[in-house]
Amino acid sequence: MTYRYDHMHFNNRMGKKVKKESEPPSKDVFDPLPIESKKAATVVLMLNSPEEEVLAKACEAIHKFAEKGDENRSSLLGLGAVEPLSHLISHEDKLVRRNAFMALGVMAANSDVKRLLKKLNVIPSVIGKLSPEEDVVVHEFATLCLASLSVDFSCKVQISDQEGLEPLIQLLSSPDPDVKKNSVESIYNLVQDLPSRVAVRELNGVPPLLELLRSEFPVIQQLSLRTLVIITTDTDTRATFREEQGFDRLLEFLCNKEFSDLHVEALQLVSNCLEDRDSLQLIQETGGLQRLLQFITTPTLPDIQTHAVKAIYRVAQSSENRKLLHEQDIERSLVELLSLEDDSVRTATCQAIAAMSLHLASKDSFRALDGIRAVVQLLGGEVREAAAQALSSLTNSNQLNAYAVYEAEGDEGMVQQLRDVIPGAVAHAAAVLTNMAEQEVLRCSILSHGAMAALLEPLQSADTHTLVRATQAVAALACDAEGRADLRNAGGLVPLVQLLRSNHKEVRRNACWAISVCANDEPTAVEMCKLGALDLLQEINSSDNRRNKFSEIALKRLLDSNLSLKYSLTNTLASTDITMDGFYDPGQARSGQRVLTLEDLSKQPVNQRRPVIAINAKPPDTVSVDQSEERQQDSPTETRTASVLSSKGTTRTPSKGRSKGRREDDKLRDEDESKPQQEVATVTEKPWMLPYDATFHALVTKATKTILPLLAESEQYSALARLVSEVMGGAVEVDRQHDFLWELHLSELRYELQSNIIPIGQIRKGTYYHRALLYKVLADRIGVSCSLVRGEYNRAWNEVLLSVGTPHYPRCQPQPRAHLVDLIQQPGRLLRANTPQAIQYQTI
C-alpha cells in the first residue's frame, strides 16, 4: 500500500487546517509534509486523523487493499481498522463517509469482521444511510455490508427490528445495478425467516421483485427468482403475485430461451404458485400449463425436467387438478420419463405418479401403459424409495395393479426392500405388500420370499411411520395359518407385543390390530400370552386415553383363542366358545394374577390349593401299530394312565395294508437300531403332555349315542343334565349338600395322581362348578349349544336357549329364552332365567 500526503499542515495550537496562500509563514506553522507509506499499519493509524482529506484517502487506500483478498481483510482486522471505520461511516464529510463505506462494505465479507461488526452494533448506522438523498456509492456498499451481515440469524433479527427491510425494498428500484444486486441479496437472506416473508408482501415488495426479472444481469434475475420462490410459500403472497400479473412475467421468462439457465428457479416458483386452485386456473388460461408439459416432454437439462415434474407433483395435490392433468394425458409423459437415466428426474417422476395415482382413472392408465413394470424395475437402485412410494399409491385399493406388480416380480423386490436402511423405503415397501396381501395367491408368494422374517427389523424401527406400516403388513400377511406360523418361527411376536407399550397412538392401534389377527389360532395366542400381551391389553383397555376399538378386539380374540384363560379371567364361556382337548379350569384369577399354563402347573408340587380340572379325550399317539396293540394287550389300564398326549396332537389310525405296514415298521426298526445311542436318547426325550382321559372319552361316546337321537331341544338338555349328574355323584338335596364330601374326594384324587391336575373323567363326586364344566365340554363335543357361567362360593351353571311359544298367540314364532340347567338338586330341570327358582339355584 503506497500513500502520499501532499498538503498537510496544521496549526499546532488551534488544531485547525490553515490555508497556505492566505497566511504568511510563521514560526509556529508546520510546513506541508509529503509522505509515501507502504505499510497498512501506518494507514490504519491515519484513520484517527482529524483531517477529512487524510481520512478520505486512508479509507480509499484501505478499500483497495481489502479488495485484493480475504487475507488482507484479516490483516486489517488485526491492525484495528474495523472500529474506526465503523465510526467514519457516520462522518459529516460525504467523501469520508463514502470511502469509509467502501472499505467497510468490502471488509464485511470476512467472517471475523462480521462478528466484530455485530459486536460494535454497526447495523443501525448502516441502515440510516439507505435514505434516497444519500450518495449512490454509499447505497452500494451499505447494501453490500448488509448482504454480508444478513446471513447471520441475530443480524437478520436486528435488521428487521431496525426496519431495514423497507429501505432495501425501495432500493430495488435504484438505477444502479450493484445497489439492486446487493439489496435483493439482502432481502433474499432476510426472507429465510417467516416474519420477513410476510413483511415483504406488506411493504409492497412483490412488484419490484417481478420487475427485476427483466434485468440484463443474470445474477439479479436469479436472486429475484429465489426470493420470489421463498415468499410465495405464503398463501397471501401468492394472491398478490397473481394480482401483479406475476404469471405473465413468469411465462414470458420461461418462453425466453436466453434465460434457460434460470428456468430451474422459475419452475420452482411455478410449483409454489400451483398449490392454489386459482393459480392453476390462471396459468391454464395463460397457456402456462401447456408450456409446463413441454418442459416435461422436450429433451432438455435434467434439472429443468426435474423441477417441471415437481411442479406437476404440486399440481396433482388437488383432486380437481388431477382430473385436469389426466385429461392432458399426463400419465404417458410420466411413464416416458421413467426411461431416462437421471435419478433426480426418475425420483420426481415416481413422486408425481404417486400423486396422480390418487385419481382412479390414472391408476388404470399407468397399468395400461405398462408403467407399473417400469416402476418395479427401479427397485433396488437409488430411486427405490420413490419407486416404492409410487407402487404403494398405485396398488392402494386396486387389485389389478397389485397383480400387475406380482406379474412384474415386484413382490420379491418389496420383501428385499424391507431390509433397507432408509426408513421411507421400508415403510413404502411394507405398504405395497399390505395392499398385495389381500389376494391369496399374492400373499402366498410374498410369504415364500420370507416376508415375515424380513419384517422383524422394521417392527423394531425407531421411525413411527415404519412401525405403522410394518404392523399393517403383519396383520395383512398373518390372516392365514402359514403366515402366523412364519411370524412365530421368525421371532416376530416378541417385537409385535412390545409395540403395545408404544406411546404413539397410531403405532399402538395398529399393533393391537395385528395381534387380533395373530390371535386367530391357539399356538400363536398362547405364545403371545406368554410374552405378556394379555396383561398389556388389559392395561390398555383400563385406560380411557389408550383404549381403542382394536385393543378391545385384540383382547377378545386373544381370549377366544385361549378359552382356559378366558374362563379364568371373565368367568364366562359363551355358547360360541367351543372347548377343545387341552382346555383346563385353573379357577378364578384374581386381579393382576398371571394364569399359568398346564405345563407350568404340572411342575408344581402337590399342594392344598384348588385342583386344576383338565380336559383331554384324544387317544394317545402310538409309535407303531404293533407296539400299540402289544401295550393294549398287556395292560389296557396301564396304557390309559401312562400314555400322554399334547392337547394339539392328532390321532394316528392303523393302516389297512397290514403286511405292508409291518414291512415298513421292520425297516424303520432296523434303521433306528443303527443310529448312535446318543441320538436315540434324544428322540425318547419328550416334552410334557397332558394325560389322556379315557373315561371322559367314553363319556363323550355315550353322550353322542344317547343324547343326539333325541329330537326336542329340551329333551337333549335334560338328558345331558341327568347324565352329568349320574357321573358326578347323583342328585344332592340342598339341605344335604354338607354331607356330600366332594372336597375329600378331590384331595384323594390329587394324592393318588401326585398332581394338582385332575382329568375331569376321574371325578366321581362333583359339586356345581365340576358339573357345569362337564356339561359344557360334553355339550360342545356333541353339538349342543350352551354357555358356562362361574358364580361365587363354588357355584357355576349352564345357560341354554329354549324356544317357548306365547300362550295367547300360539301362531306367533316361538322366541328363544334363557334357561338354567339344574345339575344337582333336580337334575334335568330347566329353570327360566331370572326367576326366583333360578336365582335360588345360583345362590343357595
562 pLDDT more than 60: yes
Mean pLDDT of 292-318: 82
Stronger pLDDT, 275 or 527, i.e. the higher one: 527
Long-range contacts from 677-684, C-beta under 8 angstroms, 24+ separation: none
Cα(131)–Cα(134) distance, rounded to whole angstroms?
A: 6
Q: What is the arrangement of strands in the sheet containing 757-759, beginning at the earlier edge strand?
A: 584-585, 612-614, 757-759
3-state secondary structure 123-136: HHHHHHCCCCCCCH
Q: What is the pLDDT of residue 267?
A: 83
Under the banding of pLDDT at 50, 70 and 90, the label for residue 426 is very high
Under the banding of pLDDT at 50, 70 and 90, the label for residue 254 is confident
Q: Using the 8-state DSSP alphabet, how is residue 478 labeled?
A: T
Cα(491)–Cα(453) distance, rounded to whole angstroms?
A: 8
663 pLDDT more than 80: no
Q: How many CB atoms lie within 10 A of CB 832?
A: 14
396, 591, 609, 671, 821 from 795: Cα distances, Å: 53, 20, 17, 56, 13
Rounded to 5 degrees, φ, ψ at 318 are -105, 140
Instruction: Specify the pTM.
Output: 0.71
Contact 390, 351 (CB under 8 A): yes
681 pLDDT more than 50: no
Q: What is the pLDDT of residue 621?
A: 66
Q: What is the pairing mode between strands 36-37 and 3-4?
A: antiparallel
358 pLDDT more than 90: yes
Find the radius of gyration of the CA atoms of the chain: 45
Looking at this protein, which amino acid is placed at residue 61? A
Looking at this protein, which amino acid is placed at residue 342? D
Q: Using the 8-state DSSP alphabet, how is residue 501 labeled?
A: G
Mean pLDDT of 270-290: 75
Question: 790 - beta bridge partners?
Answer: 796
Q: What is the pLDDT of residue 592?
A: 65
Q: What is the pLDDT of residue 308?
A: 85
Q: Nearest CA to 566 among 779, 413, 557? A: 557
Which of the given ranges, 313-317, 323-327, 499-503, has the highest pLDDT on average?
A: 499-503
Contact 789, 567 (CB under 8 A): no
Q: What is the pairing mode between strands 644-645 and 690-691?
A: antiparallel
Q: What is the pLDDT of residue 809?
A: 52
| Average pLDDT value over all residues in the chain | 84
Q: How many CB atoms lie within 10 A of CB 84?
A: 19
Q: How many CB atoms lie within 10 A of CB 649?
A: 18
Positive/negative CA dihedral, 749, 752, 757, 760: negative
Flag the least confident range among 315-319, 529-533, 787-791: 315-319
Q: Using the 8-state DSSP alphabet, how is residue 549 labeled?
A: H
What is residue 831's three-state secondary structure? strand
Positive/negative CA dihedral, 12, 16, 20, 24: negative
Flag the least confident range among 83-92, 269-278, 353-362, 722-731: 269-278
Cα(495)–Cα(116) distance, rounded to whole angstroms?
A: 55
What is residue 815's three-state secondary structure? strand
Long-range contacts from 508-512, C-beta under 8 angstroms, 24+ separation: 508/540, 508/546, 508/548, 508/551, 509/548, 509/550, 509/551, 510/467, 510/468, 510/471, 510/472, 510/475, 510/550, 511/471, 512/537, 512/540, 512/548, 512/550, 512/551, 512/553, 512/554
What are the cell numbers at 650?
392328532
Cα(824)–Cα(767) distance, rounded to whole angstroms?
A: 8
Cα(242)–Cα(225) distance, rounded to whole angstroms?
A: 15
1 pLDDT more than 80: no
What is residue 492's three-state secondary structure? coil
Mean pLDDT of 77-93: 89
pLDDT, one tens digit per residue, over 623-643 is 334 444 444 444 433 333 333
Cα(307)–Cα(268) distance, rounded to whole angstroms?
A: 6
pLDDT, one tens digit per residue, over 370-399 is 999 999 999 988 999 999 999 999 999 999
340, 535, 620, 622 from 651: Cα distances, Å: 63, 35, 7, 9
735 pLDDT more than 90: no
276 pLDDT more than 90: no
Q: Helix axis angle, 136-149 relative to 111-119, nearest 10°? A: 100
Burial of 349 (0-12, 13-18, 19+ CB in 10 A): buried
Flag the least confident range among 447-451, 678-682, 724-728: 678-682
42, 83, 113, 116 from 69: Cα distances, Å: 19, 20, 13, 18
Contact 689, 645 (CB under 8 A): yes
What are the cell numbers at 752?
393318588
Burial of 247 (0-12, 13-18, 19+ CB in 10 A): buried
91 pLDDT more than 60: yes
Cα(456)–Cα(280) distance, rounded to whole angstroms?
A: 45
Q: Max CA-CA distance within the chain?
A: 152
Q: Which residue has the cell 401299530?
A: 625
Looking at this protein, which amino acid is placed at residue 155? C
292 pLDDT more than 80: no
Q: Which residue has the cell 423497507?
A: 166
665 pLDDT more than 60: no
Q: Nearest CA to 223 among 147, 329, 135? A: 147
Burial of 571 (0-12, 13-18, 19+ CB in 10 A): middle
What are the cell numbers at 7?
498538503
Cα(270)–Cα(307) distance, rounded to whole angstroms?
A: 9
Cα(496)–Cα(483) distance, rounded to whole angstroms?
A: 14
Contact 165, 196 (CB under 8 A): yes
23, 35, 151, 786 from 14: Cα distances, Å: 15, 23, 46, 121
Contact 238, 272 (CB under 8 A): yes
Contact 148, 191 (CB under 8 A): no
843 pLDDT more than 90: no
Contact 89, 129 (CB under 8 A): yes
Flag the least confident range among 137-141, 252-256, 643-647, 805-809: 643-647
The distance from CA 55 to its chain's CA centroid, rounded to whole angstroms, is 66
Q: Which residue has the cell 343357595?
A: 844
pLDDT, one tens digit per residue, over 567-617 is 998 899 999 999 999 999 998 887 667 788 888 888 888 888 889 999 999
Contact 430, 388 (CB under 8 A): no
Q: What is the pLDDT of residue 410?
A: 94
pLDDT, one tens digit per residue, over 166-199 is 999 999 999 999 999 999 999 999 999 888 999 9
Q: What is the pLDDT of residue 572?
A: 93
Rounded to 5 degrees, φ, ψ at 699 are -65, -40
pLDDT > 90 fraction of the chain, expressed in percent and rounded: 50
Burial of 142 (0-12, 13-18, 19+ CB in 10 A): buried
Contact 479, 466 (CB under 8 A): no
Contact 171, 139 (CB under 8 A): yes
Q: What is the pLDDT of residue 183?
A: 95
Q: How many CB atoms lie within 10 A of CB 499?
A: 23
Under the banding of pLDDT at 50, 70 and 90, the label for residue 23 is low
Cα(368)–Cα(601) distance, rounded to whole angstroms?
A: 62
Contact 272, 232 (CB under 8 A): yes
